[in-house]
Amino acid sequence: MLEGRKYLIVMDDIWGVEAWNDIHRSFPNEFKGSKVLFTSRLLVQLDSVCNVTHHLAPLSQNSCWDLLQIKHRRLFTGHQFFEKFSLGPQNLRSFLCLSLVERDESRVEKNLSFFVKNFELLRVLSLQHGKWDKKVHGGHLVHLRYSSIAYKFYGVCALPSSNFLNLETLNLESTETLINLPCDIFKMVKLRHLYTKDGVFTFHLSSQEAGRNGFDCSSKLDSLQTLHQICACEACRSFLVRAPNLRKLGLHGGKITNDKVLRLPDLEFLECLETLTFTRPWDSLRKSTLPPGLKLPPTITRITLKNTRSKWDELSLLQTLPNLEVLKLIDDACCGPVWNTSELEGFPQLKYLRFYYMDFKEWIASEDQFPKLEVLALEHCRKLERIPIAFDNLNELREIKLEWGRRSAEESAKEIQEEQRNRKGDDDCLNLLAKDNSWLW
Q: Mind listing the pLDDT tens digit for each residue in 400-430? A: 999 999 999 999 999 999 999 998 887 778 9
56: in domain: no
283: in domain: no
- Lowest-confidence range among 32-41, 48-57, 334-343? 48-57
Distance CA 206, CA 193 (A): 25
- What integer best gives the mean pLDDT of the chain? 80
1: in domain: no
Listed residue (162, 132, 159) closest to 144, CA to CA:
162
Asked if residue 189 has pLDDT above 70, the reply is yes
Distance CA 311, CA 317 (A): 11
Asked if residue 133 has pLDDT above 60, the reply is no
| 75 or 35, greater pLDDT | 35
Distance CA 267, CA 256 (A): 20
| 76 or 357, greater pLDDT | 357
Mean pLDDT of 156-164: 65
215: in domain: no
Q: What pLDDT score was predicted for residue 267? A: 95
172: in domain: no
Asked if residue 244 has pLDDT above 90, the reply is yes
CB 202 within 8 A of CB 235: yes
14: in domain: yes
Q: What pLDDT score was predicted for residue 102? A: 44
| 60 or 336, greater pLDDT | 336
Residue numbers of the domain that contains 360: 336-441
**Integer angstrom CA distances of residue 406 from 53, 331, 333, 353, 437:** 71, 18, 20, 19, 6
Determine the longest span between alpha carbons in the chain, in angstroms: 90
Q: How many structural domains are present in the chain?
A: 2
Asked if residue 210 has pLDDT above 60, the reply is no
Q: What pLDDT score was predicted for residue 226? A: 97
210: in domain: no
C-alpha 395, offset from chain centre: 33
Ramachandran bin of 400, using left for φ above 0, alpha for ψ from -120 to 50, beta for the remaining angles: beta
Question: By percentage, how much of the chain surpasses pLDDT 70?
Answer: 73
Asked if residue 138 has pLDDT above 70, the reply is no
The pLDDT tens digits of the residues spanning 270-314 come to 999 999 999 987 765 556 678 888 899 999 999 999 998 889 999
In b/e form, how buried is each residue of 146-172, taking b as 16+ CB within 10 angstroms?
bbbbbbebeeebebbebbbeebbbbbb
Q: What does pTM read for this prediction?
A: 0.78
Q: What pLDDT score was predicted for residue 339? A: 95
Question: By percentage, how much of the chain surpasses pLDDT 90?
Answer: 35
200: in domain: no
Mean pLDDT of 183-193: 89
